[in-house]
A and B are shown apart, each in its own frame.
Chain A
Amino acid sequence: MSSPKAVPAADSLPREKVEQFDRELAAITRRYPEDRRASALIPALRLGQELFGHLSPEVQRLAATRLGVTPGRADEVATFYVMFHTRPQGRHVVEMCTNVSCCLTGAERIWAHLQRKLGVKPGETTPDGRITLREVECLGSCGTAPAMLVDEEMHERLTVEKVDEILGRLE
């Protein structure tokens, strides 16, 4: 495995985190043939988002240079996929499905409750920075609908009470 190209990271990113990024990226790129490092772009952006909070231009550039792709391509990918965020997010992310099977089992009521309770519209973050709320498409939990993801953890068979309890646990 060749070592990542020694390109200096964008100055504004904390050094220790960039080092951690490089260490973890090395493990990721091993999953692809050596001449296909660009395939690691999605996992690299995910890693960047996990470590730095969101995909700022600096983080995108970091991922791009390490994999030998253009920053333009990193930007294209970062804006194409709904799980990538180019702006800061709340400490927690709540993503509720409102697709058909979920609506047939009461998602509309719960979705309205979520917006009311958090006082935000879809895509917004509570003023205290605690929770970002998003409406998402089918999560593959239609049999145990309604469903939502909280920080990538699936919660199913939601009721208003259950949602309140879940939100209550988020710091």
Chain B
Amino acid sequence: MSETRILTARWGKPGSATLASYRADGGYRALDKALSQEPAALVEEVKRSNLRGRGGAGFATGLKWSFLPKDVRPRYLTVNADESEPGTFKDRYIIEHDPHQLIEGIAICCFANDIHLAYVYIRGEFARQARILEAALEEARQAGIIGPRLLGKKDFEVDIQVHRGAGAYICGEESALLESLEGKKGYPRLKPPFPAVVGLWGKPTIINNVETLANLPWIVEHGGQAFAALGTGKSGGTRLFCVSGHVNRPGVYEKPVHQNLRQLIFEDCGGIVGGRKVKAVIPGGSSAPVLAASEIDVSLEFDALKAAGTMAGSGGVIVFDESTCMVRALHRIARFYAEESCGQCTPCREGTPWMEGVLEKLEAGHGQAADVARLEQMANSIMGMTICALGDAAAMPVQSFVKKFKDEFLQHATEHRCPFGETAWGLDQSSRPARVGELSY
């Protein structure tokens, strides 16, 4: 069966990031089609497509748009290109290989929602990607595609600007992103009100992930129904799955949203290094609860993974083979959240470093069995008790790792050492060539 490729179709073509190449492949035709439609009809089309947010929460995109209050102007769009969730590396390639697809998606979103100013919030570390995007935007402005008149004909102004962050995972959280875009430190806001009602500079604001928006040209061109048909249930389209860790062919794979996880690992990614067994898989970025090997025969679709007790999150699939130490892995994850907590709420500020400390102790062989139980209690006490979802994101890995690999945690405590010793990160820690769409890296 030939698979439909929406996002990766042009990756690797010579000059794929240029306007000329994008146009030669029919680029900006969808925007042209969109301009002949009623904005409200476009929103309906997106609802029909079952497009769900690719940034983390999987919220229905069309529905999110419909939360904008009818009569408040201006409205803004902010594009989330923060891509900082460990295990996630897809938006960067959209920007590197097909920035005009994103720009066209942004323009369609703006037209559909009566928005005239959009910011792409891109993580500071993506200096090269920011340059590529700036260059593509400049081309689009020069060609009169965006600017005072869309495609040089529709009296509808769209200004798109790039705003580079400066290194803070929390700024991927939508309200922290807005604070950062307002020139402040990235402290998440209390919700409600949601950004759709009170967002950038106090105005109604849509926040969508890069990949989410890059799907819009295809949806406009082929219709929402066709997009929905690529997926299943309430989730339409394809998705970029980022696979890293102990697989033979890591990389970015564009697959239907409901791709089977086992198939992704064993067929698409060529299985596990050295023919070893899978031990665990994090299916949606490091915040998502881990799956044990026995649980990976599962659809990666949002609701299916939710039913399996985890989440599709950002599409970051991290694979651990049987020779990996789960305590070591969890300790590193816990350290990340402790490092990135903004410090606003007590459970997250105090709990994340505490969990990191206990895990460090356990891994070093200085822990007790009671520490394992206390870890679980601490994670439970953070869950749902914080301003933003980083608290949950820090708690869920701890809850799931400890629950599913409890023996291993207890073994560290009773043996007073890490049973994996020097090779806690796996017997084969070599870097293998990656597949990114049709490209090799």
Check A53 for interface membership: any CB of B closer than 8 A: no
Check A51 for interface membership: any CB of B closer than 8 A: no
Check B436 for interface membership: any CB of A closer than 8 A: yes
Q: Name the residue in B86, B168, B324, B339 with the highest tally of chain A Cβ atoms < 10 Å from its Cβ.
A: B86
Q: Which residue of chain A lies nearest to B187 when distances are taken between CB atoms in the complex?
A: A80
Q: Is the CB of A76 within 8 A of B185?
A: yes
Q: Is the CB of B183 within 8 A of A41?
A: yes
Q: Is the CB of A108 within 8 A of B84?
A: no
Assess A43 versus B89: contact at CB under 8 Å? Given A100-B332, A137-B336, A144-B434: no
Sort chain B's interface into a size bin: 35 or more
Of the residues A77, A81, A143, contact of B434 by C-beta under 8 Å: A143
Q: Is the CB of B184 within 8 A of A73?
A: yes
Assess A159 versus B431: contact at CB under 8 Å? Given A138-B85, A140-B126, A142-B242: yes
Assess A42 versus B183: contact at CB under 8 Å? Given A83-B167, A100-B332, A101-B87: yes
Q: Is the CB of B86 within 8 A of A142?
A: yes
Q: Is the CB of B163 within 8 A of A100?
A: no
Check A17 for interface membership: any CB of B closer than 8 A: no
Q: Is the CB of B164 within 8 A of A42?
A: yes
Tell me the minimal C-beta distance from A66 to chain B in angstroms: 12
Q: Which residue of chain A lies nearest to B186 when distances are taken between CB atoms in the complex?
A: A80
Question: What's the Cα separation between A63 and B102 when bound, in Å?
Answer: 32
Question: What's the Cα separation between A67 and B184 when bound, in Å?
Answer: 13
Assess A105 versus B430: contact at CB under 8 Å? Given A80-B185, A100-B333, A145-B244: yes
Check A114 for interface membership: any CB of B closer than 8 A: no
List, in ascending order, chain B residues with CB within 8 A of A153's CB.
127-128
Check A139 for interface membership: any CB of B closer than 8 A: yes
Question: What's the Cα separation between A132 and B180 when bound, in Å?
Answer: 26
Check A156 for interface membership: any CB of B closer than 8 A: yes
Question: What's the Cα separation between A166 and B73 when bound, in Å?
Answer: 51
List, in ascending order, chain B residues with CB within 8 A of A152's CB.
125, 127
Q: Which residue of chain B lies nearest to A49 when distances are taken between CB atoms in the complex?
A: B166
Of the residues B83, B162, B185, B250, contact of A143 by C-beta under 8 Å: B250
List, in ascending order, chain B residues with CB within 8 A of A137's CB.
84, 86, 169, 336, 339-340
Of the residues B87, B128, B425, contact of A108 by C-beta under 8 Å: B425
Stretch at the interface among A18-26, A32-40, A115-123: A32-40
Tell me the minimal C-beta distance from B396 to chain A in angstroms: 15
Assess A142 versus B180: contact at CB under 8 Å? Given A100-B333, A106-B429: no
Chain A 137-163 interface mask (CB, 8 Å, partner B; 1/0): 111111111100100111011110000
Question: What's the Cα separation between A38 and B127 when bound, in Å?
Answer: 22
Question: What's the Cα separation between A28 and B162 when bound, in Å?
Answer: 10
Q: Name the residue in B162, B168, B184 with the highest tally of chain A Cβ atoms < 10 Å from its Cβ.
A: B184
Tell me the minimal C-beta distance from A19 to chain B in angstroms: 23
Check B182 for interface membership: any CB of A closer than 8 A: yes
Q: Is the CB of B87 within 8 A of A142?
A: yes
CB contacts under 8 Å to B, within A65-118, are 67, 69, 73, 76-77, 80-84, 98-101, 103-106, 108-109
Q: Is the CB of A100 within 8 A of B329?
A: yes
Of the residues B168, B246, B429, contact of A81 by C-beta under 8 Å: B168
Check A31 for interface membership: any CB of B closer than 8 A: yes
Assess A45 versus B166: contact at CB under 8 Å? Given A101-B87, A104-B245, A159-B431: yes
Assess A105 versus B429: contact at CB under 8 Å? Given A41-B183, A100-B86: yes
Check A46 for interface membership: any CB of B closer than 8 A: yes
Question: What's the Cα separation between A105 and B243 when bound, in Å?
Answer: 13
Question: What's the Cα separation between A92 and B375 when bound, in Å?
Answer: 40
Tell me the minimal C-beta distance from A31 to chain B in angstroms: 4
CB contacts under 8 Å to A, within B316-337, are 316, 318, 320, 324, 329, 332-333, 336
Check B412 for interface membership: any CB of A closer than 8 A: no
Question: What's the Cα separation between A36 and B91 when bound, in Å?
Answer: 28
Check B124 for interface membership: any CB of A closer than 8 A: yes
Q: Which residue of chain A lies nearest to B166 when distances are taken between CB atoms in the complex?
A: A81
Of the residues A67, A84, A98, A156, contact of B441 by C-beta under 8 Å: A156
Tell me the minimal C-beta distance from A41 to chain B in angstroms: 3
Assess A144 versus B431: contact at CB under 8 Å? Given A40-B183, A103-B425: yes
Q: Is the CB of B89 within 8 A of A142?
A: yes
Tell me the minimal C-beta distance from A106 to chain B in angstroms: 4
List, in ascending order, chain B residues with CB within 8 A of A143's CB.
89, 242-244, 250-252, 434, 436, 441
- List of 6 A-B pairs having minimum Cβ-Cβ separation, nearest first: A41-B183, A81-B166, A82-B167, A80-B185, A83-B167, A101-B244
| Residues of B bordering A, CB below 8 Å | 83-89, 91-92, 117, 123-128, 161-169, 180-186, 201, 242-246, 250-252, 286, 316, 318, 320, 324, 329, 332-333, 336, 339-340, 425-426, 429-434, 436, 441
13 contacts between A and B (CB under 8 A): A31-B162, A38-B182, A39-B183, A100-B87, A100-B286, A101-B318, A136-B167, A140-B88, A143-B251, A143-B436, A144-B434, A154-B128, A158-B431
| Residues of A bordering B, CB below 8 Å | 31-33, 36, 38-43, 45-46, 67, 69, 73, 76-77, 80-84, 98-101, 103-106, 108-109, 136-146, 149, 152-154, 156-159
- Extra contacts besides A99-B286, A104-B318, A105-B432 (15): CB < 8 Å: A39-B183, A73-B183, A76-B185, A81-B167, A82-B168, A83-B166, A100-B87, A104-B426, A105-B429, A137-B339, A138-B84, A139-B125, A142-B318, A143-B242, A154-B128
